[in-house]
Amino acid sequence: MDLILASSSPYRQRLLRRLGQPFDAIAPDVNEKALPNEPARDLAARLAADKARAVSRQFPSALVIGSDQVAALGDSLLGKPGNHPAACEQLQRCSGREVVFYTGLTVACEEKGLLNRHVEPFTVHFRTLSERAIENYLRREQPYDCAGSFKCEGLGITLFERLNGDDPTSLEGLPLISAGADKACEVLASGCLTPDTGSLSYIATNPTSGSVFDSPLTGTDLKN
């Protein structure tokens, strides 16, 4: 079974390579604009699902991973700054405050009727940042394509006072070891197909507890 990452992000591609599983990366055609009054967590979940669905419709027999990250500073959403002045403004706003990053993950297979979702929150507590510290950091790392204007895997870690969350890889854009994504990793790293039956192993969400668990997928399984 083919594995596809529904993303053109080099950061997510780098993370997924950790699993040692070959995959293709395809950019989904999705409108990423937030709905009126849409909470950050809901937006991350919806966009991750929309991305996975869009690519899964093109490749119905493939296992597709969709992911999206939304950063919230209070009631405000932080997008990718795109340039130096906007990044300066973002970091000035974040200085001494906490920002919550919601990373949505969806695993989909159109042919098998699979659509399972998870949202991983991660909170960043920023140090009080001087204008000089912000300027020096941005000039060195230029994280203009990153929401929050930092790269946590690089020098961006020096901007933080502390971090709170279960899965640090979610802060980079693709949760690999969280409660939901960890099970996906097990399935993907094992090759997706169960050797004795040839059936697809997948991630199903318990409708009562919201937990995730492995299960063999057959034609009679419920669609989530």
Structure-model confidence comparison of residues 199 and 39, the more confident one = 39
Return the bridge partners of 85, or none. none
Q: Is residue 222 part of a domain?
A: no
pLDDT 10s digits, 50-80: 999 999 999 999 999 999 999 999 999 999 9
- CB neighbours (10 Å) of residue 138? 21
- What is the pLDDT at residue 27? 94
CATH number of the domain where residue 124 is located: 3.90.950.10
Q: Is residue 140 part of a domain?
A: yes
Q: Is residue 113 part of a domain?
A: yes
- What is the pLDDT at residue 178? 53
Q: Could you tell me the pLDDT band of residue 192, with boundaries at 50, 70 and 90?
A: very low
Q: Could you tell me the pLDDT band of residue 114, with boundaries at 50, 70 and 90?
A: confident
Residue 68 annotated as catalytic: yes
- What is the pLDDT at residue 224? 29
pLDDT 10s digits, 147-182: 999 999 899 999 999 999 989 899 999 998 653 343
- What is the pLDDT at residue 216? 32
> Whole-angstrom Cα distance, residue 167 to residue 49?
20
Range of the domain at 19: 3-216
- What is the pLDDT at residue 191? 47
Q: Is residue 223 part of a domain?
A: no
Q: Indicate the number of domains in the chain.
A: 1
Structure-model confidence comparison of residues 121 and 19, the more confident one = 121
Q: SS in 3 state form for the chain?
A: CCEEECCCCHHHHHHHHHHCCCCEECCCCCCCCCCCCCCHHHHHHHHHHHHHHHHHHHCCCCEEEEEEEEEEECCEEECCCCCHHHHHHHHHHHCCCEEEEEEEEEEEECCCCEEEEEEEEEEEEECCCCHHHHHHHHHHHCCCCCCCCCCCCCHHHHHEEEEEECCCHHHHCCCCCCCCHHHHHHHHHCCCECCCCCCEEEEEECCCCCCEEEEECCCCCCCC
Q: Which amino acid is at 16?
A: L
| Active-site choice (68, 75, 182, 214) | 68
Cα 175 to Cα 4, 32, 82, 95, distances in angstroms: 16, 20, 24, 25
Q: Is residue 145 part of a domain?
A: yes
